Amino acid sequence: MRHTILALAILASLALPACSTHENDDGSEAACKEVKAGAVTTVNHYCVVMNDDPVDPELVREHKGQRVGFCCKGCFKKWDAMNDAQKDAAIAKAVALGKPAS
């Protein structure tokens, strides 16, 4: 029972919009939708948590030797709650989206 409640809590937190917890703006999702200046040096060009949002080149984490990009700092918490299989699937999905139009 305890594991079920924990799993449901994690899934619910993953479904919430990450940008509402963005620490550097007014909390609007518009900031996450912008293509940020700078070279993207991660394996993904779209956020691994919020697939509609382009990566901010300054928001990067390492996973299994790969640089992974995020749209906002709010996505870090959701990423950290994922297990390795979920992270691998999220990376694959984000990479498949390609590059955003400039």
Average pLDDT over residues 33-46: 89
Distance between CA atoms of residues 9 and 96, nearest Å: 28
How far, in whole angstroms, is CA 78 from its chain's centroid? 8
Q: Over the stretch 43-84, which tens digit does the pLDDT of each residue have?
A: 999 999 999 999 999 999 999 999 999 999 999 999 999 999
Beta strands in 1-102 (DSSP E): 56-63, 66-70
Distance between CA atoms of residues 72 and 58, nearest Å: 9
What pTM was computed for the model?
Answer: 0.71
Residue 42 has pLDDT above 60, yes or no: yes
Q: Over the stretch 3-35, which tens digit does the pLDDT of each residue have?
A: 444 444 444 444 444 555 444 444 556 778 878
The tokens 């709650």 sit on which residue?
81
Distance between CA atoms of residues 57 and 74, nearest Å: 15
Tokens of 80: 């950290």
